[in-house]
Amino acid sequence: MMEAQKRPDDEDLLCPVCKYIFTDPCFVCPNHHTLCRECYKRISDMSLFGPAKCPECREMLSKPKQDAIRAKLVQAFKSKPPPGATCQMFEGKSRCSNSVFVKCGHCDLDFCDLHFCDHRLKFQTECENLLKSVEKDAKECDQVSATLQPWKAQIKSLIEFIDIEKERLEELLRVTEQRLEQAAAGSSRRAEADDLRASLRSSQLQQAKAIADQLKVAATAPKLDSQDFGWPPTDEQTKEIEACKAKLDIVIGTATGICGGVSCRDDFEDDTIYAEAIYDDI
């Protein structure tokens, strides 16, 4: 593969180590001698006795720095077509016989002046269409961001609100269950009272004393007063709770449709009708 590489007339474009055209040329010593970056690495890695030295001046190798001027000269040489080269464009099944005018910078093919103009125009048009598409997509993304940012704030606020209310409800549930356990214990003492009556009637005084002692201990527990707890939820209160749940479901469903990019108009209309029906019943 290396043997097929075209060689320049200017020896300054050849690496003194590999003897081929420079690849990524770099200054490697204080005297600004240049090597391929890979050749520099190879010399550095192969040095067994002390620091590696420049093959040109025997100075110690320094940290490589790009030789930008030489890199441009190499690029210019590589872009030159070989003598007698013809345009690589095909017209039907026949290749263009015109002399090469320039090597294309983006596809690395050789073109005559006519075909290069057409080729460059086609590439320019493709890039312009691509830029229009990117700009259109960017505007769409801007609009999506403008829509979603306020929703994000609302969703965060709703989550914080729900978390607070959830804590309140969980505490309320804990207290309610505690009261239910207390009420259940109080109700169960009715059976113990019946056992006490039976023991007294049958003159089983020892058993009666044991039951009485249990009831005395239970009597010292805090009492529940039904006046403090009102009444079970009314139909109106139940409907209000269901209406709140339906309204929250509508809000979350709407946000899901908008933020998820899913059309939810039909579901939204159905939920709205359902919620309105609940409100009408209240």
Bridge partners of residue 94, in order along the sequence:
91
DSSP bridge pairs for 95: 90
Give the whole-angstrom CA distance, residue 111 versus residue 95.
11
Give Cα 31 distance to the centre of its chain: 51
Query: How many beta carbons lie within 10 A of that of residue 174, not counting itself?
Result: 10
Taking 60 as the threshold, does the pLDDT of residue 180 lie above it?
Answer: yes
Per-residue pLDDT band at 114 (split at 50, 70, 90): confident
pLDDT band at 141 (very low <50, low <70, confident <90, very high): very high
Percent of the chain whose pLDDT exceeds 90: 34
Rounded-to-integer distance, Cα 8 and Cα 13, Å? 7
Please determine, for residue 242, whether its predicted confidence score (pLDDT) is greater than 50: yes
Percent of the chain at pLDDT > 70 equals 88
Each residue of 190-232: pLDDT tens digit?
Answer: 888 888 889 888 888 888 888 888 888 877 777 777 777 778 8
| Overall pTM > 0.75 | no
* pLDDT over 80 at 14, yes or no: yes
In sign, the C-alpha dihedral spanning 123, 125, 126, 131 is positive
Q: In whole angstroms, give the CA distance from residue 162 to residue 168.
A: 10
Cβ atoms 100, 81 nearer than 8 A: yes
